[in-house]
Amino acid sequence: MQLNNPKLFNKSSFINGQWLTSDESFTVVNPADEQNICQISEVTSEQVEQAVNSAYTALSGWQALTVDERSEKMRRWYELIVENKDDLAKIMTAEQGKPLKEASGEVLYGAKYIQWYSEEAKRINGDVLPINQKGRRALVLKRPIGVVTAITPWNFPGAMILRKASAALAAGCCMVVKPSELTPLSALALAQLSQEAGIPEGVFNVVVGSQSQAIGEILTMHPKVAKFSFTGSTAVGKKLLHQCASTVKKTSMELGGNAPFIAFEDADLEAVVKGAMGSKFRNAGQTCVCANRIFVHASIHEQFVTKLAEKVAELKVGDGYLEGVEIGPLIEPKAIAKVEKLVKQAIESGARVVAGGEKIASKGNFYQPTILTGVTPEMDIFNTEIFGPVAAIIKFESEEEVIRLANQTEYGLCSYAYTQSLNRMWRLSENLQFGMVGINEGVLSNPAAPFGGIKESGMGREGGRWGIEDYLETRYVCLGNVE
């Protein structure tokens, strides 16, 4: 992996502006060829404690800066990320596997959050309440909550960090983030650039290690931590919430998804196929908002399946560094095993394979882009977050039926629907039980908009003015004896 800026390739935790090593290490593996990329120094419990304490110490200095000064440093971080996007994409493709073009897109997408929140820092406003008692005045202030810790996933190793850090730093908080041990290199590269941007020591810290439970306990239970943010599975999120309860921390949870993608009889079929391809097969289906259950009206079912199969047949699968590759590997062998199990069970229960359906017999964690029809609510694949390039298609007859089936899940992160009816758009917006609804659009994330779910998909929002609220506390000030 040849980088223009070799300083971006780091192999130890970044704490209080220093790169700290230890006697233990773990291995980062390229999922495309199963070769070891490097050894990473394993963070110790003492170093994680040091990171939290460093963030706590840095709070006063970071908050003492004017909003313009904080904004300028964040803006410089954004500019450096953009300047180094090619190197950052190479690092991401090596450790995560997604195609280089897609990795570059993620880098720029994540950078947009830094850009947006560098300006939003100037718009944290309080209130002066109307006088309702003589001699008193009432103020409402918005104050940074304090030290923020976060655990982020491997599927978007850059963007998930920047989405959290941008709002936290803009609010005046300091941060300690633990990236997935499968993809720590992207996080460490971002830490290097934060230092080059002039973000002070202790404001942004990255701890890397494979001992997730031990690290997580410190990040969720430390008394100096005021807020914890997590993106990952619902099962792990529940455990972390339980740990946060011990000190009543504020939390943000972006958890699992089981997104419905609905194509009605009046939909623009070409737009539906394009949307399904973008939503389902982006990052080899390894996204929490990707189409997990594709509902197609009976009247257009055969046409849709035919057109989707044609597009899927054109997808090039392979190492993300190779020209023209659109589908990279799954992250690890366990991910392949999960997809294989879901597909096998579906077929045994009556589903039909239209395309793909097998692991690609080569080195690396590659699975064929797959289409299954005849999927029913009784199958595991209907009720489980697939996290692989498998399109599970369900035929439906009526709007009432498909809304019931779409909502038939404990998850409530994202949903998609294609229709030309304005009345139906309103009904879907109100009746689909998901935190986000895309109408005639398969990719809907936006730095200015709130991202997050309901039900067991979590709580809190990232993005927009709603995202920064999770890093602020509301303080009421009553001034008495005012003449």
Please check the confidence at residue 88 and state whether its pLDDT lies above 90.
yes
Where do we find the tokens 């998901």?
434
pLDDT band at 379 (very low <50, low <70, confident <90, very high): very high
- 247 is a domain residue: yes
- 483 is a domain residue: no
Question: 123 CB contacts (<8 Å, ≥6 apart)?
Answer: 465
**DSSP bridge pairs for 479:** 137
In this prediction, residue 17 carries a pLDDT of 98
- 438 is a domain residue: yes
- 1 is a domain residue: no
Q: CA gyration radius for the chain? A: 23
Q: Which domain holds residue 289?
A: 259-446
In this prediction, residue 322 carries a pLDDT of 96
pLDDT band at 225 (very low <50, low <70, confident <90, very high): very high
Q: Within this chain, do residues 107 and 228 fall inside the same structural domain, yes or no? A: yes
Q: Within this chain, do residues 309 and 418 fall inside the same structural domain, yes or no? A: yes
- From 288, 326, 399, 414, active-site residue: 288
Residue 290 annotated in active site: no
Is 232 in a helix, a strand, or coil? coil
Measured in degrees and rounded to the nearest 5, phi and psi for residue 101 equal -65, -40
- 89 is a domain residue: yes
Rounded average pLDDT over 157-169: 98
Quote the percentage of the chain above a pLDDT of 90.
98
CATH number of 251's domain: 3.40.605.10
Please check the confidence at residue 279 and state whether its pLDDT lies above 90.
yes
Please check the confidence at residue 312 and state whether its pLDDT lies above 90.
yes
pLDDT band at 55 (very low <50, low <70, confident <90, very high): very high
Question: 237 CB contacts (<8 Å, ≥6 apart)?
Answer: 230, 253, 255, 458
Q: Within this chain, do residues 140 and 266 fall inside the same structural domain, yes or no? A: no
pLDDT band at 333 (very low <50, low <70, confident <90, very high): very high
In this predicted structure, which of 124-128, 129-133, 244-248, 456-460 has the lowest mean pLDDT? 129-133
Please check the confidence at residue 98 and state whether its pLDDT lies above 90.
yes
DSSP string computed for 288-328: TTSEEEEEEETTTHHHHHHHHHHHHHH--BS-TTSTT--B-
Q: Within this chain, do residues 301 and 238 fall inside the same structural domain, yes or no? A: no
- 482 is a domain residue: no
In this prediction, residue 143 carries a pLDDT of 97
Rounded average pLDDT over 70-98: 98
Q: Within this chain, do residues 149 and 24 fall inside the same structural domain, yes or no? A: yes
Closest by CA to 455, choosing from 259, 211, 175, 177, is 259
In this prediction, residue 131 carries a pLDDT of 87
Please check the confidence at residue 389 and state whether its pLDDT lies above 90.
yes
Q: Within this chain, do residues 33 and 161 fall inside the same structural domain, yes or no? A: yes
Rounded average pLDDT over 16-27: 98
In this prediction, residue 206 carries a pLDDT of 98
Q: Within this chain, do residues 122 and 203 fall inside the same structural domain, yes or no? A: yes
Q: Alpha helix (H) ranges present in 67-123?
A: 67-83, 85-96, 100-120
Q: Within this chain, do residues 317 and 427 fall inside the same structural domain, yes or no? A: yes
Please check the confidence at residue 483 and state whether its pLDDT lies above 90.
no
- Mean pLDDT (the chain, rounded): 97
Please check the confidence at residue 452 and state whether its pLDDT lies above 90.
yes
And the tokens for 4?
A: 């223009």
Quote the percentage of the chain above a pLDDT of 70.
100
Q: What is the pTM assigned to this prediction? A: 0.96
CATH number of 304's domain: 3.40.309.10
**DSSP bridge pairs for 437:** 415
In this prediction, residue 335 carries a pLDDT of 97
In this prediction, residue 437 carries a pLDDT of 98
Neighbour-count burial of 6, counting CB atoms closer than 10 A to its CB (0-12 exposed, 13-18 middle, 19+ buried): exposed
Please check the confidence at residue 268 and state whether its pLDDT lies above 90.
yes
- From 95, 254, 385, 399, active-site residue: 254
State which H helix or E strand residue 425 sits in. helix 422-431
Q: Within this chain, do residues 72 and 172 fall inside the same structural domain, yes or no? A: yes
pLDDT band at 362 (very low <50, low <70, confident <90, very high): confident
Q: Within this chain, do residues 55 and 148 fall inside the same structural domain, yes or no? A: yes
Residue 288 annotated in active site: yes
User: Is residue 432 within 8 Å of residue 406, measured between CB atoms?
Assistant: yes
- 158 is a domain residue: yes
Q: Within this chain, do residues 284 and 386 fall inside the same structural domain, yes or no? A: yes
Q: Within this chain, do residues 169 and 79 fall inside the same structural domain, yes or no? A: yes
- 230 is a domain residue: yes
Please check the confidence at residue 77 and state whether its pLDDT lies above 90.
yes
CA pair distance 267, 387, nearest whole angstrom: 26
And the tokens for 65?
A: 């800066």
In this prediction, residue 1 carries a pLDDT of 83
Rounded average pLDDT over 194-198: 98
Number of domains in the chain: 2
